[in-house]
A = this chain, B = another copy of it.
Amino acid sequence: MTKSKFQMIYDELVGHIENGDLKANELLPSENELAESFKASRETIRKALKLLSEHGYIQKMQGKGSVVLDVTKINFPISGLVSFRELADKMGKRAKTDVVGLEEQLMTADMQEQFQMKEATNVWNVKRVREIDKERIILDKDYLLTSLVPGLTINICEKSLYAYIEQVLGLTISFAKKEITVERPTEEDKELLDLKEYDTIVVVKSHVYLDDATMFQYTESRHRPDKFRFVDFARRTR
């Protein structure tokens, strides 16, 4: 499982940007120069630069060159597809997960709808409360196909579900469709979270898919409004 050449070039350039070798508003060397110094063809360099551009590290300008963007502001992506554990690790917060429910059950009609399946099969129903700095901020309600994700335990759910799925089961999580809305808190929300006096709750619904395009997980992540933050980098498509 060796990385591709353009990925390694991307990684190296990201390193140079993040540690300050390449500063904001500086121009990168030209594609031809990069091709020479990395001993790669120009198209390979361009694949690496494409990645940098998509992730908001650089802006390409025809006829001029590629300029480094100021990345200090964005940079912690709740955008994208990242697990709570990965996020908490990155932010260095005192985070704790409390598994308040874990059971196997037959899909409800509502779940069957979400998974778009013709027949109801068994799913794991996982409920987890996320505590940050001693406050219960997030309620995660996960539903996972037991056929694809067997052998769940409380211990796994406390640590990282995604680590188990990817590293133990060897599945590849590939993409997700997400929807953010704001709703009224339910009795369950009020019971399980430290909601204070808020009368709204931010709900992130996700449909998560493997690399063969099968959906294996539906999640509702319910956040106390004052602690919710979503950051995004978007390019205009025409």
> A-side interface residues toward B, CB under 8 Å?
25, 43, 55-56, 59, 61, 64, 67, 69-70, 73-74, 79-81, 116, 173-182, 198-200, 202, 207, 209, 211-213, 225-226, 228-237
Can you give 17 A-B contacts (C-beta < 8 A)?
Answer: A43-B43, A56-B177, A59-B174, A59-B211, A61-B211, A73-B177, A175-B233, A176-B234, A177-B233, A178-B231, A179-B231, A179-B232, A180-B228, A180-B229, A182-B225, A182-B226, A199-B199
Contact status A236-B178, CB under 8 Å? no
Contact status A178-B234, CB under 8 Å? yes
Contact status A59-B182, CB under 8 Å? no
Contact A236-B174, Cβ < 8 Å, known A69-B213, A181-B229, A182-B228: yes
In-complex Cβ contact of A56 among B55, B175, B202 (8 A): B175
Contact status B213-A225, CB under 8 Å? no
Contact A213-B59, Cβ < 8 Å, known A200-B200, A236-B81: yes
Contact status B176-A200, CB under 8 Å? no
In-complex Cβ contact of A202 among B179, B182, B207, B231 (8 A): B182
